[in-house]
Chains A and B, each alone.
Chain A
Amino acid sequence: MQRSFLLYFLITIVGCVFIGRLFQLQIIRGANYNPIHNSAVKTTYDYPERGYVYDRNGKLLIANQLSYDVMIQPNQVKPLDTIEFCNLLKINKESFLKRLRKAERWAPYLPSVFLKQLAKKDFAFLQEKLHKYNGFFIQKRIIRKYPINAAANVLGYIGEVNESLAKKNNYYQAGELIGKDGIEREYESYLRGKKGKKYLQRNNLNKVTGSFSNGKYDTLSKNGKDLTLTLDIDLQLFAQKLMSGKRGGIVAIEPSSGEILALVTAPSYDPNMLVGRKRSKNSTILFNDTISRPSYDRGLLAAYAPGSPFKMMNALIGLQENVINEKTSFKCYYGFKYGKRANEFMGCHCNVIGKPIKLKTAIAKSCNSYFSNTYKRIVEKDNNSSEGLDNWHKHVSSFGLGDYLGYDLPAGSKGLIPDGKYYDNRYKYSWNGSTTISNAIGQGEILTTPIQLANFTAAIANRGYFYTPHILKKIDKKTIDNEKFTMAKKTTIDKKHFDPVIEAMHEVFKTGTGKWSQVKGIEICGKTGTAENFTRIEGQKIQLPDHSILVAFAPKENPKIALAIFVENGGYGSTIAAPITSLIIEKYLTGQISKTNKYREQNMLNLSLQDIYEKLKLKPKKIASGTK
């Protein structure tokens, strides 16, 4: 009996282990078992219609259209009249065979796309004859349509979900459509709606044998929500036209709400280019153009030195910090000498020589000396440059400069506002206001994007506060109540300090650099600027034609629009940026361009900087030596 004990023992052990394992599999693991994640269940989706997009006045910007794909299931294909079929689809025989082989390689028993996005009239013909061709069928797809050719940078586009995203996000399957840029991407979750799911019973050959659990787990699809944008598409179109032939960006904001009225980047492209059969060809063209970069949103991304408009910032800080007041005056002798050596001198073009200059004149005439003095006083206020600059940085940041603004579009750039630490690292603690004097006039290390400048202008227009710029106005006709966009953000500058600055900005368009761009009956306040720009070629710092910059708002009281415009290599702000600004303001406030200003519109429409860009592209070195 003893020796038989071994087998008894082993059977008992094995029995217990097996039952234990069954317990682990069926009870412990089985508890998490979800019947719909079962290999015998096939999930099919019912795709809802993607939401429409309108502009602030209810004009349709994005709609949907049907597109027809010819699908193929290779194992059901029977011998067919290839020539007739090819004629129907307008493809040649090689292409037919290539597509057939591709589908067979993918999976003979699964449907796959044979020919994408059939033309509508081809579809009508084909539909009548399709019953003759076994294994081929039509699948409807919804694609986007853009009735107005504008604002491609804002609207963005949709594209197919790739494998890696599908793995990360369990809502999407590879090949489905998702917003890839602009509001299509930002508001994907609203626009897409919710797809419906249907669970079908299937066997290992992928053959559907009925619905699973009588449709107990099935869900219905929910249509996407319609969005209304803050854009004024007429203004956008007008601004886009004005920018034709130029490179740059325009951002227009309604100061009282932070709503973005226009967001222009030039050059841009027709949003319909990224829809339909030519899509892949077009996208190669758009995304591979590294010189004019039509897919680069300059309004949001182009970070440049702001130039003179930044002088208002220093004026406001000076007033707030009480290092200057309205009556403080400085004298200017062709510039400002910030060091003992001869080359430590900043030139000035204010042409008010030797007379005391007060704030209003300083802004109107854009006097470099005045702001250099002011800046020096701000930074060196407590004899500690680092702390002084940190304080300055605090004020500048309160206008939303130097960081992402938090608007609702996917592209963005931080820009740069240096603080004490920045220079401590750079100059090893031996620096002061003079070392960083370029900051006084918005040059040097400072970088801002057009939308940051527009927001800065809106804060001035509002006399001390701003709403975070945003592009979304309504979701399904319901105005947004996102506190991020509806709560005013206060700047660190008191309200009373804005009046002299605004007066001065008004002066700019009355008597200063903007006087040639006045509009009768509209009080425009603004400031032109010129940003020097350099490039490095073969290790040498080379100066390129200046960028033209302008910020403005109007009317002076109760402002309706604040904008920033920048034109690459556009020279002085007064020649290109100012007329465009005044045209946009006039168009927005009065709805048209008055007869007296028609010539201005014509000039701007005809003006092209393409020659300059061509030259820059070819011989940047020679150009550089030709400028000041």
Chain B
Amino acid sequence: MRQERNNIFENIDWVLVFLFITLVGFGWLNIYAASKTEEDVELLSFSTKYGKQLIFICCTIPLIITILFFNSKFYEKYASIFYIISIFCLLLLFPFGKEINGAKSWFNFGVLGLQPSEFVKAFTALAVAKLLSDRQYNLKLIKNQIKVFIIIFTPAVLITLQPDAGSALIYLTFFFVLNREGLTMSYMIWGSILIFLFILTIFFGYFPVLLVLLAFITITVIYMIYKRGQRFIRFNWYKIVIIYIITILFTFGTNIIYNNVFKRHHRDRFEVLLGLKTDIKNIGYNSHQSELTISSGGWTGKGFLKGDITKGDFVPEQHTDYIFSTVGEEWGFLGSSLVIILFMLMIYRIIYLSETHSNKFGRIYGYSVASILFFHIVVNIGMVIGLLPTVGIPLPFFSYGGSSLWGFTVLLFIFIRLDAHKNYDW
């Protein structure tokens, strides 16, 4: 075994660090534009959003050094402890959490609020990596699948109960990881089909969808009988009946769940997106304003601090979830495309690096990081540019908020730490 390195920055992937600094820095400029008021206040101050964010950014430096300071083995060894602590934190929220916007997802420490769910992602990724990297572990076994599902969905369920369904949603992204590690594709395929049918049912109403589905199945069955003869029926009749029943139950179920389990505001968000409702004053206001703001940017944007819609505070939550609309307005098509490309490069780079790991733990963790970032970017930017329904999750490194920034910093730099150490045999 080689001697531990003396320099904590040795073998660090500077490409990722560079992308991190660029995104955080550019993100801050946009937060500054979105939250700047006429009175000029000093930059490092708790009285303004941009001042606070600058302090948060400064705080990431000791955080990063601490993360890099520890041996990569430390993270593998104590992954389960981290995970259990984070679950414990989530549980503590129920008695001690502070309620903001109807969800108990914050611990309050005076000036500072911390949102544990932003950190739990990283620790869940560690736990998943630890479990899957076990040499004895085989994802083909149902027993093992259930184990990993429990690890993934425990935090997801706790977060849903806060209730913060948007933040819980991102745990679905671990399916990419599981898939990479050998889980059968059928979960994802069936999941996608169900989501697709769900949307169709909402859009067209359950009855036409049901009719089309039944017709489709019947035609397939007739085709099979024609091709294979009577034997097909004899051996498969129970499967056919089950498929029919599932189809009927699913479409009716969708209808019932959609109308009774979904809250009014969830339904509204869906319906506005699908064009079933046009209400740009209330429900669709955010999306409409955000699209309008982005559209006004043109090729090169209006210039830094010159976005008049941003200045007028017309897009709600513009410094947090809708920060990308500021990019669109002030930096235009070129600026916003660049941000998307930077994010793409970061994810490509993480996957590429993960695949070079000889160590399974590092690879799985890296893949989790890539999937989490991917999911956040898809859901957030998709929402801001009006392609996906409104789900309140932050844009990594960009959105205002200490917890979110630190959560992603921890997520990324643990990977950088693991990656720096990948060539050592440990």
Interface residues of A (CB under 8 A from B): 1, 3-4, 6-8, 10-12, 14-15, 17-19, 21-23, 25-27, 29-31, 33, 35, 38-41, 201-205, 209, 212
Contacts and interface: CB of A to CB of B under 8 A. Distances in A.
The list of the 6 closest CB pairs from A to B, nearest first, reads: A40-B312, A203-B312, A40-B308, A26-B333, A204-B313, A30-B298
B351 A8 contact: yes
B5 to A, nearest CB: 28
Nearest to B316: A204
A1 B355 contact: yes
A201 B309 CA distance: 9
Given A19-B337, A22-B336, A30-B297, A38 B308 contact: yes
Contact of A39 (B289, B297, B370): B289
Contact of A22 (B181, B313, B371, B385): B385
Nearest to A18: B340
B271 interface: no
B294 interface: yes
11 contacts: A6-B179, A7-B351, A14-B374, A15-B344, A17-B387, A23-B333, A25-B328, A30-B296, A38-B296, A39-B289, A201-B308
Interface in B159-194: 176, 179-182
Contacts of A22: 294, 328, 333, 336-337, 340, 385
B294 A25 contact: yes
Contacts of B313: 203-205
A201 B313 CA distance: 12
B208 interface: no
B32 interface: no
B309 A38 contact: yes
B388 to A, nearest CB: 11
Contact of B299 (A4, A26, A41, A204): A26
Interface string B321-338: 000000010001100110
A1 B38 CA distance: 53
A21 B348 CA distance: 21
Contacts of B341: 15, 19
B158 interface: no
Nearest to A201: B308
B410 to A, nearest CB: 21
Contacts of B351: 4, 7-8
Given A15-B341, A19-B337, A201-B312, A3 B289 contact: no
Nearest to A212: B308
A261 to B, nearest CB: 54
A33 B298 contact: yes
B340 A7 contact: no
B347 A11 contact: yes
A23 B337 CA distance: 9
A34 to B, nearest CB: 9
Given A25-B328, A25-B386, A40-B311, 18 more contacts: A6-B179, A10-B374, A11-B347, A14-B377, A15-B340, A19-B340, A21-B386, A22-B336, A22-B337, A22-B340, A25-B294, A26-B297, A30-B297, A33-B298, A35-B308, A41-B308, A204-B314, A212-B308
A27 B348 CA distance: 27
Interface of B: 38, 176, 179-182, 289, 291-292, 294-299, 308-309, 311-314, 328, 332-333, 336-337, 340-341, 343-344, 347-348, 351, 354-355, 367, 370-371, 374, 377-378, 381-382, 385-387
A54 to B, nearest CB: 47
A26 B330 CA distance: 12
A10 B377 CA distance: 12
Contacts of A14: 374, 377-378
Given A6-B179, A11-B348, A209 B374 contact: no
Given A22-B294, A39-B289, A11 B374 contact: yes
Nearest to B173: A7
Contacts of B374: 7, 10-11, 14
Contacts of A4: 180, 351, 354-355, 367
B312 A3 contact: no
Contact of A18 (B291, B312, B381): B381
A19 B342 CA distance: 12
A39 B312 contact: yes
Contact of B387 (A12, A21, A29): A21
Contacts of B371: 7
Nearest to B333: A26
A310 B351 CA distance: 98
A30 B333 CA distance: 10
A26 B327 CA distance: 12
A11 B349 CA distance: 12
Interface centre among A4, A18, A19, A203 (most CB of B within 10 A): A18
A379 B298 CA distance: 74
B387 A26 contact: no
Contacts of B299: 26-27, 30
A409 B251 CA distance: 63
A13 B382 CA distance: 13
A19 B336 CA distance: 8
Contact of A30 (B176, B295, B343, B355): B295
A27 B333 contact: yes
A40 B328 contact: no
Contacts of A38: 292, 296, 308-309
A39 B316 CA distance: 13
Contacts of B182: 3
Given A23-B333, A209-B38, A33 B296 contact: yes
Contacts of A203: 311-314
A1 B340 CA distance: 24
A40 to B, nearest CB: 4
B314 A39 contact: yes
A17 B344 CA distance: 12
